[in-house]
Amino acid sequence: MKWALEYSDRAKKFLKTRSKDDRERIEKTIDKLRDGPYNRKDLDIKQLKGRDGWRLRIGKYRVLYIVYNAEILISVLDVGLRGDIYKQ
C-alpha cells in the first residue's frame, strides 16, 4: 500500500529555490516515504522531540512531516537547511 503525499506551501516554496539537482534528490527521497513513513533502514528518520512529527535527513537538508494514519497520508510541513529548519 502506498501512502499519499502532500506538500505545504512553505515546503513547495523552499524547493523552488533549490537547484534542479538538489530539488530532484530531495523529492526522490521524500517519495520513498510513500512505502512507509516510519523508522526505515534505508532512510535517516527520527521522531521529533517536543512536538509532533518526524524528521527526514537528506544530506544538509531536513524534511519535517506529520503522518496521518487514518487517511494514509504524509504531510510534508517544511523543507530546509539543517541550521534553519528547527527555528520556526
Q: What's the pTM value of the predicted model, to 2 decimals? A: 0.92
Q: Can you read off the three cell numbers belonging to residue 62?
A: 531536513
Summarize pLDDT for 30-55 with one digit per residue, the tens: 999 999 898 788 999 999 998 899 99
Helix (H/G/I), strand (E/B), else coil: 24: helix
Domain boundaries along the sequence of the chain: 4-87
Domain 4-87 carries which CATH code?
A: 3.30.2310.20
Give the percent of the chain with pLDDT over 70. Answer: 99
Task: Report the interhelical angle of 20-32 vs 9-16 (nearest 10°).
Answer: 140
pLDDT at 38: 85
pLDDT in tens, 2-40: 999 999 999 999 999 999 999 999 999 999 999 989 878
